Chains A and B, each alone.
Chain A
């Protein structure tokens, strides 16, 4: 019984690894197909000549990679902590969204404090000091010394 459960677990792991090997290629194939369809629909024959040529070459290479992935299994590393990975990506996305909405000078201290405390699990005091120093440096270098007008965000512009 235990042996059978272990076998099932190994099968699942192998399946995951195989998925990991073929998933990126499969996704890029979809992207290339979309690219080629767009080229054929929106561009005339001369303008699309070079993009289509490279699109098809890439498609052939991807098909070989997909075949290799299916045949040989995966060599990619599975993320140790997918939850943390998604969280890190979401924090970057949130930071960019914040900059877009409320601008650099308001979003950056907020992003730094939240990232350092929530994602990095550092004390709030450290986060506040880092956020203050970094934001002040950015303000002094870009706004004062270089006279750039940093993006104020779509809500304040």
Chain B
């Protein structure tokens, strides 16, 4: 393996390949920063361009994009509360409050450290588990997928101990919205009211941009002032303390990276779930979980570690079975096919050196993107000093263009605006937005897993107890529920 890695590194270190890697990183950063665009769009646009390239150059550029998009997405999540990419939405939760406190540079410093560390962890894990890839992916069938989706929703909904009930309500509404559109188990459409736009369901990116970015910008335009509440307190030199804080919270980095790699490897679940679960588990494991959401640096470190680690995880089912772990990987699959590679077990025999080249490209890209991010952080953090009355309409306008650019559907603009207003009202009436988003993402997986399991088990509920994996998932759900409910009950019993 070391010999193959060495060979791949030699291929990657040619001037031409480094230039393609650098180009990929720049494109990835730009597409990551603009809300709504993201890695999938960048890869899709560059896919035809890779046709004439050598395989290693194409992989370097694709790896550059995938490795840098996370960093770019997190920069706009922290500075504007408008996640550039869907998985960066979790970074908004504590990153934006940090920016409001004038600690944007510290948050970006933490991102720039946690991101490559997560990427490195993911790559190392991938290298270790590649020989076992087939066995791991085959552990998950429909009952396990259903239980995993329930686990994701429950973990996130219960993460706000002050607002458990409203978290569960938001998750319930999110699930109900997730069932809008074509029912791919039984056929037919549901809750579309004759609208063709809703056939594909409620799209994720406009929902995220609306609920997080636009909602905050509406709030900012009402409130006035700047993103950073106290402009005198804005520290543009906090990068080093962000780096130090990340290294100090190395356990959070490992937990986040592990979550990212594991969840990223499960097809259809994706990076957004991985980052939110990494955030929730870190919050739950903390001694003071209620302080999360007010500007805790661990709330940035955890999702960022997961954000880059998930790419390595998602590569596993893509390369081993041709089952993309995310939309980004689906486009990457196109690049593989374009270069005459057939994903599957044979890929690990015929193109093993190219795979190692890609893994190294991902690693270098994460480090390079972080370096560029660190070099530009002082100027980027200055965005928090721009007046809200100017910043809010500009961000709303750019977000709407970005949202439209994904599928060129005018309906996406309307949806983002509606969810922006809904998000603003949710903030005002103290309903957490996170459970709604996570339920919207996982609703389809949960329903498909449930219906398929019931078909396999012929209506017998014991299908959810048929394997050690499903029993483990079930235990994790019970643990997650009791972790949140038991302390509240105990507190009430003590006070009564």
User: Which residues of A pack against B, CB within 8 Å?
Assistant: 20, 23-25, 28, 31-32, 35, 38-39, 42-43, 46-51, 54-55, 57-58, 61-62, 64-65, 68, 75-77, 79, 81, 84-85, 88-89, 91-93, 95-96, 99-100, 104, 108, 111-112, 115-116, 119-122, 126, 130, 134, 138, 141-142, 146, 148-151
Contacts and interface: CB of A to CB of B under 8 A. Distances in A.
A50 B447 contact: yes
A96 B398 CA distance: 12
Nearest to A48: B190
Contacts of A20: 429
B165 A64 contact: yes
B221 A58 contact: no
B408 interface: yes
Interface in B58-78: none
A146 B183 contact: no
A57 B397 contact: no
B429 A119 contact: no
Interface stretch (B81-89, B171-179, B326-334): B171-179
A99 B400 contact: yes
A85 B223 CA distance: 9
Interface in B178-225: 179, 183, 186, 188, 190-191, 214, 218, 221-222, 224
Nearest to A137: B398
A38 B192 CA distance: 10
Interface stretch (B241-249, B301-309, B409-417): B409-417
B430 interface: yes
Contact of A120 (B389, B404, B414): B389
A65 B446 CA distance: 25
A111 B397 contact: yes
A96 B414 contact: yes
A134 B179 contact: no
A58 B173 contact: yes
Interface string B374-417: 00000000000001111011101110110011001010011001
A92 B394 contact: no
Given A64-B165, A92-B421, A58 B397 contact: no
Interface of B: 34, 45, 165-166, 168-169, 172-173, 175-176, 179, 183, 186, 188, 190-191, 214, 218, 221-222, 224, 387-390, 392-394, 396-398, 400-401, 404-405, 408, 410, 413-414, 417, 420-421, 424-425, 428-431, 446-447, 450-451
Nearest to A130: B390
A58 B430 contact: no
12 contacts: A35-B191, A43-B190, A46-B186, A47-B183, A47-B186, A48-B190, A84-B222, A88-B222, A92-B396, A99-B410, A111-B393, A134-B397
Contacts of A126: 390
A152 B439 CA distance: 34
B168 to A, nearest CB: 5
Contact of A116 (B183, B389, B408): B389
B401 A104 contact: yes
Given A96-B400, A112-B394, 17 more contacts: A42-B191, A58-B172, A76-B428, A77-B428, A79-B428, A92-B421, A93-B421, A96-B414, A100-B410, A100-B413, A111-B397, A112-B393, A115-B389, A119-B389, A120-B387, A126-B390, A149-B408
A143 to B, nearest CB: 10
B165 A51 contact: no
A123 to B, nearest CB: 11
Nearest to B417: A96
Q: Which of A85, A92, A116, A121 has the most CB of B within 10 A?
A: A92
Contacts of B190: 39, 42-43, 47-48, 51
Contacts of B400: 95-96, 99, 104
Q: Which 5 A-B pairs have the closest CB atoms?
A: A120-B389, A58-B172, A115-B393, A24-B429, A51-B179
A146 B405 contact: yes
Contact of A81 (B169, B222, B421): B222
Contact of A142 (B394, B401, B431): B401
